[in-house]
Chains A and B, each alone.
Chain A
Amino acid sequence: MRTIFHLDLDAFFVEVERILDPSLRGKPVIVGGDPKYGRGVVAACSYEARAFGLHSAMPIRTAYKLCPHGIYIHGSHGEYSRFSKAVKRILEQYAPVVEQASIDEFYMDFTGCRNIYGSLFAFASFLQKEIRQKLSLPCSIGIGSNKTIAKIGSDCMKPCGITYIIPEMGKEFLAPMPVETIPGVGKVMLKDLNSKGIFKIGDITKLPQDYFATAYGKYGIDLYRKACGKGSEYLTVQWEQKSISHERTFADVTSKEFLKEKLFYLTGKVCHELREMDWQVATVSIKLRYSDFKTLTRAKTIKPTDDDEEIFEVAWDMMTKAYTRRIAVRLIGVRLTNFSNCSEQEELFEWTEIKRRRMLKVVNRIRYKYGYDSILIGELKRTGEIDKHPNYFQA
């Protein structure tokens, strides 16, 4: 039997904003987009704002209708990640294994630590106090025998709560809760379950597992397992970076030329990071979001490379094929996955290729010294036009 802690920082972004500006205490604070332009969603809101029916991921425009007197903040993301790292450093002093699930959520494995820390409940309360005292941040902790149950536990006594679910009692603990408490059950799933007469988690476990396997396949089995209080018991600790990606949101564009230009820029950025790590990439993916939020992703695996031009060609090809609807685009992105270390055997390459690789290495060095925008790879060859940017050069 394992002992998993799930620690969730309560209204994290809002609490950090309150450290930056204490006059926000006790007021409805919303971090996210700007209601003036009606764009974006609520990234986080204070408990005072939640009283008006606000919740995270709600469109900012809806939030503004519900709570027009709230304080809307764009957010200081550098500070959030600094505080998040500081929390992790504190947890690492006590927990043998820490998995950071998101900027404000951590799993810890305390299996076998009872002899050191004594009562788990008292220890959780100590951790809470420690984070409150050192960083002025409130948090909730759930303790369970697996990740799912620990997470549900930390959610059900917010803010500043501690929930300890006695092992073997998971199923009974979950039974009276509404089905949407299970992580992964969204709006669509909820509607579907409700139409089948399933409202509480207990309703799921009354039915046989096969029923869910037939109805929802693999996902159904997973849902059933979670309803029974089972879930993943092992933490995944990321040692390596798995992807490099960049994306940009626009005020709805239709111009293909503009998209091409932006995609070229984004590709340049990811390739720069790729070369910094001395890696080559095999899989290139693109993301395209229309103004109605319909989102497409396309991926292609190619011969490992770290060259801007090759990667851009693949990305642009996928983009033109994916962009078929005659609707404005809101966001595009490039993502690289499947890395391999840069091969040193340069004899295998053509002479021009070697020259180009050396050139790109120099580009990286220049950027290291003077910043990314100090040198940009131009698109002269393709468009035949001379770009006005003073730092363009022809590759």
Chain B
Amino acid sequence: MLLNFNEKIVQFMPKFYIGTAGWSYKDWVPNFYPKKQSGGFDWLQFYSHYFNCVEVNSTYYAYLSPRVFESWIRKVEDSDDFIFNVKLNQDFTHKRKYDEQNIKAIRYNLQILKNEERLGGLLIQFPYSFPYNNSATQFISELKDIFQNYNLFVEVRHSSWRNKEAYEFFKKNNLTFCTIDQPQIGQAIPFEPIITNDKAYIRFHGRNEEAWKNSINNFGKKQSYEEQNQRYKYLYLPGELIEIEQVIKSIQSKVKEVHVIMNNHPKGDAVANAFELIHLLEERTKVEMPPTIVKAYKRLGEIAAN
């Protein structure tokens, strides 16, 4: 049989949701959001024009009013397939103390998004200090029962979770095992996708090793906003993105949805890298993006549609 190399073999491609962790950063002006903004200018509306997904992180710190969620839905009206991935409050994952009231508040908001088909899923992120053991899996099962109507993306950071039993537990409970890319320090979990259901959820925290180490050393001390965010300051290099692309391509036939979230947010690095990943993963030669970002990141000029 002769293969015809001029015609591309059509391969199964999952749906890609590529976006950033949060959209409301002042330091994204002027690299992403324009400097001169009219009175009615809305950041989320602007953001949703270019991306089809965002991770909501404010829900981790506070219980937001349902009105906030309703206003978000109105703002993304123009983008048909735009979804929100909501991060679960720290009371559940870090303090692990919650009551009926907390559960109700979260369920109510999730349902608002779900009814409008704007909910991707619930991100449950545990800290590094949450290793694999019986009580840990039991705790996750509890959460699974509470939020059983939603897609659950579970992120664990300790490498003790890298074992077959843990993967089996994820598969049995239909949970997505989040893949993370972060500096490789100590027992940190490496970048290696594990597929446990029909979705993949990949978060990029940057590879700023030095700042990451500093932040471990300064844990608990008072720090300014800049200092706190320094560890996420990292712009992925083109070669690193290609490496990432090849890894994601190797698992894409096993899933229906791939969520890619860039958390290296300072100054808009996350936005620039997200555009590059849209180009690589969705195999789009040209990607629509605002002129502000092309001006700030020259190499984007090669793939910008305008």
Contact = CB atoms under 8 A, between A and B. Distances in A.
Contacts of B298: 21-23
Interface in A42-94: 76, 78-80, 82-83, 85-86, 89
Among B6, B242, B301: residue with most chain A CB under 10 A: B242
Given A19-B238, A123-B5, A126-B5, A86 B299 contact: no
B302 interface: yes
B186 interface: yes
Interface string B241-254: 01100100000000
B289 to A, nearest CB: 15
A78 B5 contact: no
Nearest to B302: A22
B1 interface: yes
Nearest to B4: A118
Among B2, B186, B239: residue with most chain A CB under 10 A: B239
Given A82-B237, A83-B239, A86-B242, A22 B299 contact: yes
A86 B243 contact: yes
B116 interface: no
B126 to A, nearest CB: 23
A86 B246 contact: yes
Interface of A: 16, 19-23, 76, 78-80, 82-83, 85-86, 89, 115-118, 122-123, 126, 134-136, 369
A79 B186 contact: no
Contacts of A116: 1-3
Given A22-B298, A22-B301, A22-B302, A82 B242 contact: yes
A134 B243 CA distance: 12
Interface of B: 1-3, 5-6, 186, 237-240, 242-243, 246, 298-299, 301-302
A89 B243 CA distance: 10
B278 to A, nearest CB: 15
B299 A20 contact: yes
B295 to A, nearest CB: 13
Contact of B299 (A19, A89, A122): A19
A82 B207 CA distance: 15
A79 B2 contact: no
B299 A78 contact: no
Contacts of A85: 243
Nearest to A369: B186
Contacts of A23: 298
Contacts of B238: 19-20, 79, 83
Among A16, A21, A86: residue with most chain B CB under 10 A: A86
Contacts of B5: 117, 122-123, 126
B275 to A, nearest CB: 14
Contacts of A89: 246
Among B5, B6, B240, B246: residue with most chain A CB under 10 A: B5
B239 A79 contact: yes
Contacts of B299: 19-22
Contact of A78 (B2, B6, B239): B239
B2 A118 contact: yes
Nearest to A23: B298
A76 B240 CA distance: 12
Contacts of A76: 237
30 contacts: A19-B238, A19-B299, A19-B302, A20-B237, A20-B299, A21-B299, A22-B298, A22-B301, A79-B237, A79-B238, A79-B239, A80-B239, A82-B239, A82-B240, A82-B242, A82-B243, A83-B239, A83-B242, A85-B243, A86-B242, A89-B246, A115-B2, A116-B1, A116-B2, A117-B3, A122-B5, A126-B5, A126-B6, A135-B242, A136-B302
Contacts of A19: 238, 299, 302
A83 B186 CA distance: 27
Nearest to B280: A134
A23 B242 CA distance: 21
A212 B91 CA distance: 83
A122 B7 CA distance: 13
Nearest to B242: A86
Nearest to B300: A22
A369 B184 CA distance: 10
Contacts of A80: 239
A225 B204 CA distance: 54
B239 A16 contact: yes
Contacts of A78: 237, 239
Contact of B239 (A86, A122, A123, A134): A86
Contacts of B1: 116
A135 B34 CA distance: 31
Contacts of B237: 20, 76, 78-79, 82
Contacts of A122: 5
Instruction: Sort A-B residue pairs by CB-CB distance and give the 5 closest, nearest first.
Output: A82-B239, A126-B5, A79-B239, A118-B2, A86-B242
Nearest to A371: B213
Contacts of A135: 242
B285 to A, nearest CB: 9
Contacts of A83: 238-239, 242
Contacts of B302: 19, 22, 136
Given A80-B239, A86-B239, 14 more contacts: A19-B299, A22-B301, A22-B302, A23-B298, A78-B237, A78-B239, A82-B240, A82-B243, A86-B242, A86-B243, A117-B2, A117-B3, A117-B5, A136-B302
Contacts of B240: 82
Contacts of A369: 186
B306 to A, nearest CB: 16
A141 to B, nearest CB: 14
A135 B302 CA distance: 12
Contacts of B2: 115-118
Nearest to A85: B243
Contacts of B243: 82, 85-86
A79 B302 CA distance: 18
Contacts of B239: 16, 78-80, 82-83, 86
